[in-house]
């Protein structure tokens, strides 16, 4: 056979094999985490683990509720801050800003996205925590340290700005100029056009950007860990300390061997995080499909 | 009696218009990114008739059309000088209100761009923007305009479904109806049939011919046969300048200018 054709078929097979390898890593992770968490799951019912809020490994209490709620609080706060800001910022960049400004800001966003999370953490400890503790909380008559889910949410929001803005800008740039003209030529103002036509048309893309950002927010560890306080309690207000799941794993990984079931509990935490992110992506994919059909 | 102030060559002096025209263009110059796209355009567009702008691609015909409802404003690096009077009001005056100007002109673009909403909402979009809240009135407007473009029977049972589900020819008629719903006085068409099949093209052309009773229509087209079928007047633009303007048969059959002759015979395109 011709050597060129042999090469061709080899490349095809090798690349298929590599793809299989990459996919099997995902399965191996699930399998590994699952088998390691089995001891905990055999010891206690999964419902107890997820709904109990007492975490004291020494006594054998492994309630995951504080960590789940910590993750949910921090993620939600960051989204509440980031989503409106990013939508408006990207609308400004695409619809109002000059080409010069846009060409200056977009590369800057990529630089921001590349900054290591630990730097955001340091910035959070040096600036966000003191401001939240010294200025914001006192406004509500509270006296706290500032290490709280609110600080975590702010730091996380700032971290997901770049990815959200750059995806949203790309989405908005795909909206055809003529669609805008169609609305403008009916006598709509620019803001009416943005609100009622552009954002509506861009909705699936904007949701996709938010989903990507949330996936990142769920898993973000180090920066959040540095400003959240890390107390295993269910946060009751913005200014309470929280303890997100990734922080739990990162903080305790070294000592886990000494206590029975602790090791298994941390593996379960990892599995939980995996399942949450996986499920979240699946659901949002479904929502997106339905939205795209509608528009 | 009205003669063309801008084109006072021998050839065009005999054109007489019935009334003061809706659209008068005076000393219009447009620069885009430093390039001189439209040069000293002086033109009065006749009322209640179809005027086709023809010319080779890149000659400035679409720019001229977009200048009429200030859609060029949105592009960067555009400088417009001179004036465009619509009913005597200069739309490039400093205090001119752009949404008000655009409302007077329905735009039919090259490809249909239905708004991302239902068929009903597409038509109701314009009236709603201009303050119409009454549901009964809106329903009436939607029905009237859809009937106007011959779409009512085809879509009356699915007014709430998305407009993107329509065929491309239906979409273009929807876009026309959407433009008519804000009660414009002028219809601007930018090669409005170039994406359509022959039958839809014919439907749109017939609609335009019918609509000229009530509207002043300006079309950009690169199809000479279409210009002959639908228009009463033809404006030939070359390199950003008006070369010839006159009645359709005069320009197409007896062009006076040499470049027009070459274009009409197909030597340049």
Encode pLDDT of A117-134 as tens digits.
Answer: 999 999 999 999 999 988
Minimal CA–CA distance to A247: which of A121, A77, A119, A112? Answer: A121
* Dihedral angle computed from the Cα positions of residues A66, A68, A72 and A78, in that order, rounded to the nearest 10 degrees: 80
pLDDT band at B89 (very low <50, low <70, confident <90, very high): confident
Minimal CA–CA distance to B41: which of B65, B9, B64? Answer: B64
Q: A112 with A237, same domain? A: yes
CATH code where residue B49 lies: 3.40.50.300
**Bridge partners of residue B52, in order along the sequence:** B219, B234
* Poorest-pLDDT segment among A243-257, B31-45, B57-71, B116-130: A243-257
Q: A16 with A99, same domain? A: no
CATH code where residue A208 lies: 1.10.3720.10
Tokens 């049972």 belong to B157
Report the run of H or E that residue B174 belongs to, with start and end: helix B168-180
- Return left, alpha or beta for A141; rule: phi > 0 is left, psi -120 to 50 is alpha, else beta: left
Give chain A's contact residues with B (Cβ, < 8 Å).
98-99, 176, 178-189, 192, 196-197, 200-201, 294-295
Chain B residue closest in CA terms to A295:
B116
How far is A107 from chain B, CA to nearest CA, in Å?
Answer: 21
- A6-14: average pLDDT: 94
Q: Identify whether the C-beta of residue B48 lies closer than 8 Å to the C-beta of residue B229.
A: no
* Dihedral angle computed from the Cα positions of residues B80, B86, B91 and B92, in that order, rounded to the nearest 10 degrees: 30
Task: Give the per-residue pLDDT at A57.
Answer: 83
Q: CB distance B76–A98 less than 8 Å?
A: yes
Q: CB distance A187–B100 less than 8 Å?
A: yes
Long-range contacts of B87-95 (CB under 8 A, 24+ apart): B87/B22, B87/B185, B88/B20, B88/B24
Work out how many domains chain B is built from and give that number: 1
Residue B228 covered by a domain: yes
Q: A12 with A79, same domain? A: no
Rounded to 5 degrees, what are φ and ψ at B83?
A: -140, 150
Return the structure tokens found at B56.
Answer: 């080779």
Domain that holds residue A249: 51-294
pLDDT tens digits for range B162-186: 998 899 999 999 999 999 999 898 9
- Residue with the bigger pLDDT between B7 and A291: it is A291
Q: A210 with A175, same domain? A: yes
Buried b (16+ CB within 10 A) or exposed e, B156-185: eeebeebbeebeebbbbbbbbbbbbbbebb
* Poorest-pLDDT segment among B14-18, B101-105, B171-175: B14-18
Task: Give the per-residue pLDDT at A104.
Answer: 92
Q: A30 with A176, same domain? A: no
How far is B250 from chain A, CA to nearest CA, in Å?
Answer: 33
Residue B74 covered by a domain: yes
Return the structure tokens found at A208.
Answer: 């996709």
Residue B109 covered by a domain: no
Q: A212 with A126, same domain? A: yes
pLDDT tens digits for range A61-120: 889 999 999 999 999 999 999 999 999 999 999 999 988 899 999 999 888 888 999 999
Q: A112 with A13, same domain? A: no
Q: Identify whether the C-beta of residue B109 lies closer than 8 Å to the C-beta of residue A181.
A: yes
Q: CB distance B115–A182 less than 8 Å?
A: yes
Q: Identify whether the C-beta of residue B52 lies closer than 8 Å to the C-beta of residue B233.
A: yes
Q: What is the mean pLDDT of chain B?
A: 87
Work out how many domains chain A is built from and give that number: 2
pLDDT band at A141 (very low <50, low <70, confident <90, very high): confident
Res. A202: pLDDT tops 60: yes
Q: A22 with A70, same domain? A: no
Task: Give the per-residue pLDDT at B19.
Answer: 57
Q: Identify whether the C-beta of residue A136 lies closer than 8 Å to the C-beta of residue A150.
A: yes
Q: A71 with A34, same domain? A: no
Residue B122 covered by a domain: no
Q: CB distance B71–A201 less than 8 Å?
A: no
Q: How far is CA A87 from CA A109, A202, B143, B244, in A?
A: 15, 11, 36, 49
Q: Which residues contact B88 (CB under 8 A, 6 or more apart)?
A: B20, B24
**Bridge partners of residue B23, in order along the sequence:** B45, B86
Residue B41 covered by a domain: yes
Q: How far apart are CA A286 and CA A293, in angstroms?
A: 11
DSSP code at position B193: T
* Poorest-pLDDT segment among A23-32, B10-19, B234-243: B10-19
- Among B74, B116, B121, B166, the strongest candidate for a mutation testing the A interface, having the largest count of A CBs within 10 A, is B116
**Helix extents (H) in A92-131:** 99-114, 117-123, 129-131
Domain that holds residue B53: 1-104+218-269
Q: CB distance A197–B164 less than 8 Å?
A: no
Task: Give the per-residue pLDDT at A160.
Answer: 92
Residue B172 covered by a domain: no
Q: For B116, which of A185, A188, A201 is closest by C-beta distance?
A: A201
Q: How far apart are CA B60 and CA B37, in angstroms?
A: 6
How far is A87 from chain B, CA to nearest CA, in Å?
Answer: 19
pLDDT band at B10 (very low <50, low <70, confident <90, very high): very low
Q: How far is CA A218 from CA A15, A76, A138, B239, in A?
A: 32, 10, 29, 59
Chain B residue numbers touching A181 (CB-CB < 8 A): 71, 74, 107, 109, 113
- A253-268: average pLDDT: 80
Angle at A162 between CA A160 and CA A163, to 5 degrees: 70
- B234-262: average pLDDT: 91
- Among B96, B115, B119, B161, the strongest candidate for a mutation testing the A interface, having the largest count of A CBs within 10 A, is B115
Q: A108 with A129, same domain? A: yes
pLDDT tens digits for range A29-73: 999 999 989 988 888 888 888 988 888 888 888 899 999 999 999
Tokens 């005069």 belong to B250
How far is A200 from chain B, CA to nearest CA, in Å?
Answer: 7
Task: Give the per-residue pLDDT at B116.
Answer: 92
Residue B72 covered by a domain: yes
Task: Give the per-residue pLDDT at B8.
Answer: 44
Report the run of H or E that residue A67 belongs to, with start and end: helix A65-91
Q: A208 with A71, same domain? A: yes
Q: Which residues contact B206 (CB under 8 A, 6 or more apart)?
A: none
Q: Identify whether the C-beta of residue B69 lies closer than 8 Å to the C-beta of residue B105.
A: yes
How much of chain B, in percent, has pLDDT values that exceed 90?
47
Q: Report pTM.
A: 0.81
Q: For A188, which of B117, B129, B175 is closest by C-beta distance?
A: B129
Res. B4: pLDDT tops 50: no
DSSP code at position B165: G
Residue B249 covered by a domain: yes
Chain A residue numbers touching B188 (CB-CB < 8 A): 185
* Poorest-pLDDT segment among A188-197, A209-218, B159-168: A209-218
Q: A31 with A91, same domain? A: no
Q: CB distance A295–B162 less than 8 Å?
A: yes
Give chain B's contact residues with A (Cβ, < 8 Å).
69, 71, 74, 76, 99-100, 102-103, 105-107, 109-111, 113, 115-117, 125-126, 129-130, 162, 164, 175, 178-179, 182, 188
């Amino acid at each position: 056979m011709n050597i060129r054709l042999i090469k061709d078929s080899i490349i095809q097979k090798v690349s298929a094999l590599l793809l299989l390898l990459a996919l099997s890593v995902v399965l191996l992770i699930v399998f590994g985490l699952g088998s390691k968490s089995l001891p905990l799951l055999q010891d206690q019912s999964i419902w107890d683990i997820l709904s109990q809020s007492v975490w004291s490994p020494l006594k054998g209490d492994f309630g995951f509720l504080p960590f789940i709620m910590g993750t949910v609080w921090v993620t939600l706060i960051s989204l509440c801050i980031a989503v409106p800001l990013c939508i408006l910022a990207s609308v400004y960049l695409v619809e109002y800003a000059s080409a010069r400004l846009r060409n200056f800001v977009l590369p800057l966003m990529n630089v921001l996205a590349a900054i290591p999370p630990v730097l955001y953490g340091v910035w959070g400890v040096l600036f966000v925590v003191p401001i939240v503790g010294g200025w914001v909380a006192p406004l509500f008559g509270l006296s706290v340290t500032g290490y709280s889910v609110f600080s975590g949410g702010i730091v996380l929001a700032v971290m997901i700005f770049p990815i959200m803005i750059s995806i949203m800008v790309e989405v908005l740039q795909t909206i055809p100029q003529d669609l805008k003209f169609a609305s403008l030529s009916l006598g709509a103002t620019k803001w009416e056009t943005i609100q009622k036509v552009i954002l509506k048309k861009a909705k699936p893309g904007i949701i996709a950007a938010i989903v990507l950002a949330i996936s990142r927010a769920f898993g973000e560890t180090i920066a959040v860990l540095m400003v959240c306080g890390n107390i295993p309690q269910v946060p009751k207000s913005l200014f309470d300390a929280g303890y997100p799941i990734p922080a739990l794993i990162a903080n305790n990984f070294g000592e886990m061997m000494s206590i029975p079931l602790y090791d298994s509990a941390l593996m379960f935490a990892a599995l939980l995080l995996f399942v949450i992110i996986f499920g979240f992506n699946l659901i949002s994919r479904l929502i997106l499909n339905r939205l795209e059909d509608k528009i | 009696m009205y003669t063309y102030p801008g084109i006072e060559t021998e050839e065009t002096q005999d054109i007489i218009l019935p009334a003061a025209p809706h659209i008068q263009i005076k000393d219009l110059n447009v620069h885009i990114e430093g390039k001189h796209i439209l040069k000293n355009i002086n033109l009065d567009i006749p009322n209640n008739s179809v005027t086709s702008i023809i010319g080779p691609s890149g000659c400035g015909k679409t720019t001229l059309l977009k200048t009429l409802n200030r859609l060029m404003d949105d592009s960067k690096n555009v400088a417009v000088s001179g004036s465009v009077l619509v009913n005597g009001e200069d739309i490039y005056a400093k205090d001119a209100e752009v949404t008000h100007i655009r409302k007077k002109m329905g735009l039919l673009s090259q490809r249909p761009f239905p708004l991302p909403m239902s068929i009903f909402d597409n038509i109701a979009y314009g009236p709603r923007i201009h303050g119409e809240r009454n549901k009964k009135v809106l329903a009436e407007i939607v029905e009237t305009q859809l009937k106007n473009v011959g779409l009512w029977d085809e879509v009356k049972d699915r007014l709430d479904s998305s407009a993107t589900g329509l065929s491309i020819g239906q979409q273009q008629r929807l876009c026309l109806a959407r433009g008519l719903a804000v009660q414009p006085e002028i219809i601007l068409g930018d090669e409005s049939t170039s994406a359509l099949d022959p039958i839809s093209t014919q439907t749109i052309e017939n609609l335009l011919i019918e609509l000229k009773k009530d509207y002043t229509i300006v079309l950009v087209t690169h199809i000479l046969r279409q210009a002959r079928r639908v228009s009463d007047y033809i404006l030939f633009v070359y390199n950003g300048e008006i070369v010839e303007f006159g009645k359709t048969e005069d320009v197409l059959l007896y062009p006076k200018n040499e470049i027009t002759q070459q274009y009409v015979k197909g030597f340049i395109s």
